[in-house]
Structure 1
Amino acid sequence: MPTTRPIARLVATLAGAALLTSALSAQARELSVSTVLSDAFPWGQAAQKWADLVAERSDGELTLRVYPNAQLVSGDQTREFSAMRSGLIDLAVGSTINWSPQVPALNLFSLPFFLPDEAAVDAVTGGEAGEMIFSAIEDKGVVPLAWGENGFRQLSNSSGDIDEPADLEGLKIRVVGSPLFQDTFTALGANPTQMSWADAKPALTTGAVDGQENPLSVFDVARIDQVGQTHLTLWNYMNDPLVFASNRQVWGSLTEEQREMLRETAIEAGAWEIAKTREEQAGRLEAIRERGVTVTELDDSQYQAFVEATDSVHEKWVPRIGEEIVEAARGDIDAP
């Protein structure tokens, strides 16, 4: 009999320790955040800003750990959405381009020359079309939380100035893994070459491809001018909004307070990053010019020539995106 009491006390102690450990685990939870670029770029800074805001406001209950450079999908940025949907990724700050193969509605933003300026982008993301697109994302098993922005994409090359479609004839242009990009550059007479960003700079260095398209922030930070890209055309042919999002099961496992905090911090981080991206454009362009890059700006007639050259892309892709979403976006853009 006397030996049972110490055993009972030991059992009680172990049980108490297990309960404490369980409680602490429930209070402290780490979620992964995938992003394609590091915090040297505004895109990566958006993910880190989100993590920092959560750290400030979660009282230790949630921690966001950012995995840049598409680490969680072995560098294949087009697999990010599928990985998040399946649960391999908890959260992401992702590109509408990279997610468009799984969510066709996201191709709206890649329609060539559809969004004329930043005001149009804001009207769409903040309007009826934006709501419809978020619903389309959620239908695919991912919960969208907020918008960010990678910016308007510009065209660079190593051959010469480009101010009309004929200048693109036969040029090998690196594009992301989206059929819409293939169709756009084919319509312009170029030879689109699909490859990941990890492979792009080496290909530009060796001359395997002649050019590429990316926002000014990427051109500037990645020093694309150092790999022979000495000609840059500002044509704003499409915009790449970013989406802050969560895996559906992860979202459902959070408390209502945690979900509210995660959404609020995503919205705040997104607004911060959009403002930062836009405010830095003038300075980036000046720095690019100072490094000897020839910058071509299109006048209205030159711009219109590119619009007309890509009409066939709209005819093909508007039905795939959804007539209702495209019409809603047009209404958002035209609204007073």
Structure 2
Amino acid sequence: MTLTRSIAHFTAGLAGAALLSASLSAQARELSVSTVLSDAFPWGQAAEKWAELVEERSGGELTLRVYPNSQLVSGDQTREFSAMRSGLIDAAVGSTINWSPQVPELNLFSLPFFIPDEAAVDAVTGGEAGELVFEAIESRGVIPLAWGENGFRQVSNSRGPISQPDDLDGLKIRVVGSPLFQDTFSALGADPTQMSWTDAQPALTTGAVDGQENPLSVFDVARIDQVGQEHLTLWNYMNDPLIFAVNQQVWQTLSEEQQTLLRETAVEAGEWEIAMTREEEGERLAAIQERGVTVTELSDEQYQAFVDATQSVYEKWAPRIGEEVVEAAQAAIDAR
């Protein structure tokens, strides 16, 4: 072999190695994932589980980096969907409540006293109504992949037990930034006060607000009883499913294999998180009671009184959500 040919082979080898390296680099992809809560909560654990499954099964070619506590939207959880739609965030495990300002159909799950139990949640998310909701999300530039669960939201306060609508009269209740929440608590005679969760905890401590509403997991992990919330009512007034989703443009840049991987792992992580959240409910409730919190459980008649008191809210919001979606959900609930 001549010196010229040797040099040519060597050069070709270097070029081939460079191309291989570039190819491998191009294949390796990291996506940002936003969540509102850290992995101290089931919500954050859902995102971490998704990231873990993706890394394991992609061999490191695709990774998810989780950013908890709404870091990617400067703490404003209601901006998460818009940020994902615009491409500032690649993916998210988000709340139907927080995304509802941009996707009105998601208010379905916030209709007061509409979805009564876990079987009803599963019937809605797993049926036609769930498909319509996912179609609504996708029409706004985001690809929904799977369901998770933040759980039923319960109400607590520092004044006394709540077992009938009159017990809420005049109570200042911290609520998330949703007009539907404002309408619901106003209909019950309360004084709904919108604020972020960061602002809510000191407001509860000082008595600037009397109460709040959140799932048991948040009440337990955040030790809300330590900020004066001595009375807790289990009323299941609304459910907050979580949704695993990806920006549409990011989704289109992924290979078919990567898309399948992301969807399958999201479904698996969601099923894992839903089961865990539900299994831990009893243990969390017992721990809350052991810390001295008075827990009120409603009878069927007491529950119906709250349904009746918020009927006007249902009538106002059902058309905004979409009659087709609401009717499909009602049919699923009735047939469960």
| TM-score above 0.5 | yes
Q: Partner residue of 2:251?
A: 251
Q: Number of aligned pairs?
A: 333
Alignment of 1:1-336 (within 5 A): 18-335=18-335
Deviations 1:251-287 (A, max 9, x none): 1000001100110000000000000000000000000
Report if aligned partners of 1:27, 1:60 keep a CA contact under 8 Å in 2: no
Following the alignment from structure 2 to structure 1, what is the Cα–Cα distance between the partners of residues 100 and 14? 51
Residue deviations 1:35-70 (CA, integer Å, cap 9, x gap): 000000000000000001011100111011100001
TM-score, length basis structure 2: 0.96
Larger CA deviation: 282-291 vs 204-213: 204-213
Letter in 2 for 1:135: E
- 2:203 aligned partner, one-letter code: A
Query: Per-residue CA shift, 1:62-118, capped at 9, x if unaligned?
Result: 011100001000110000000000001111000000000000000000000000100
Post-superposition Cα deviations, 1:199-247, rounded to whole Å, max 9, x if no partner, equal 1111111111110000000000000000000000000000000000000
Alignment deviations for residues 152-189 of structure 1 (CA, whole Å, 9 cap, x no partner): 00000011111111111111111111110000001011
Return closer, same or farther for 1:187/1:7 CA change in 2, 3 Å cut-off. farther
> Contact 1:38–1:45 (CA<8 Å) still a contact in 2?
yes
| Range 213-222 or range 23-32, more displaced | 23-32
1:22 shift after superposition: 2.1
**In structure 2, how many angstroms separate the alpha carbons of the residues matched to 1:7 and 1:78?**
61
Q: What letter is aligned with 1:96?
A: T
Cα gap change, 1:14 to 1:200, in 2 (>3 Å):
farther
- Give 1:139's aligned amino acid: S
Instruction: Classify the secondary structure of the residue corresponding to 2:59.
Output: coil
Aligned-pair identity (%): 81
TM-score by length of 1: 0.96
Take 2:97 and 2:41, find their aligned partners in 1: how far apart are those partners?
A: 17
Query: In the alignment, residue 184 of structure 2 is paired with which amino acid?
Result: T
CA distance in 2, matches of 1:192, 1:282: 29
Which blocks of at least 5 consecutive residues in structure 2 are unaligned?
Answer: none
Which consecutive segments of 4 or more residues in structure 1 shift more than 3 A?
Answer: 4-18
Contact in 2 for aligned 1:154/1:235 (Cα 8 Å): yes
Task: Report the CA distance shift for 1:8/1:132 in structure 2 as closer, same or farther (over 3 A).
Answer: same
